[in-house]
Amino acid sequence: MRHTTWGFKYFLHLPYDIHSLILSFLHPEDIIATRKTCKAMFDATLQRDLWMKAVVQLCQENAVHPSSFPVARMSLLALEYASMGVMRWKRLVSDTGSSGKKGLLSPFREMSLRHDFLSSAELFLVPGGRFLLILNAGRLSIWDLLDIHEPTACPGDIQPIASIDCHSFTSHPAPEGSGILIITITINNVSETDLL
């Protein structure tokens, strides 16, 4: 037992950078578990860079578009919350709902658009859930849903951030991963527009 205690003592006296490096290899739920072990680990897990890396890793592992999470502007708490998203989702889907049926979900908040607007629309939710592309009546609209989960957000106030006349579209991640490449097709020509 003494040998283990000595090892832990020396581990706590390692430079902060070593603790950060070790933590960067852990999944977010393991970082939270490590936080609960002692004050030194608690302090080490409160570093913004650690959680920024966790969110970037979440995006890479789950094919989530990086712009879904503006990590440079997110608070530490928002970064921790975002990095735990996959774990929360898996628990939510596997938990039994109030109806007793496994995997039955109820909406956190509903957002409604006019029924006549969506009845013939093509919808595409960009992986990550932040951006919604809607093609309706020859017009492509881009909606930013980033703050829709905030208590102060009023779903009725959500407006498109951009729109363009087009007949059809396709979207792909930009080669460097910093945006979305949206290719629109109009009746007369084909145009490339990097809107996001």
List, for residues 7-26, the tens digit of each pLDDT value: 567 777 888 888 889 999 99
How far is CA 43 from its chain centroid?
Answer: 25
Question: Residue 183 burial by CB count (10 A; 0-12/13-18/19+): exposed, middle or buried?
Answer: middle
Arch. (CATH architecture) of 2-94: Up-down Bundle (1.20)
Q: What is the predicted pLDDT for the residue at 113?
A: 61
- pTM comes to 0.59
User: Is 138:166 a contact under the CB 8 Å cutoff?
Assistant: yes
What is the pLDDT, as a whole number, of residue 70? 85
Exposure string for 125-135, b = 16+ CB within 10 A, e = fewer = ebebebbbbbb
- What are the domain boundaries of the chain? 2-94, 115-193
Query: Across the beta sheet with 160-165, what order do the strands follow?
Result: 122-125, 131-136, 139-144, 160-165
- At 64 the pLDDT is 78
The whole-angstrom separation of Cα 134 and Cα 139 is: 8
pLDDT digits (tens, 9 = 90+) for 59-86: 888 777 777 788 888 899 999 998 998 8
At residue 68, the pLDDT reads 79
Choose between 79 and 148: higher pLDDT.
79
What tens digit of pLDDT does each residue of 101-127 get? Answer: 665 666 655 666 655 556 678 888 887
pLDDT of residue 51: 95
Q: What is the mean pLDDT of the chain?
A: 77
Confidence at residue 104, expressed as pLDDT on a 0 to 100 scale: 64
pLDDT in tens, 28-62: 999 999 999 888 889 999 999 999 999 999 888 87
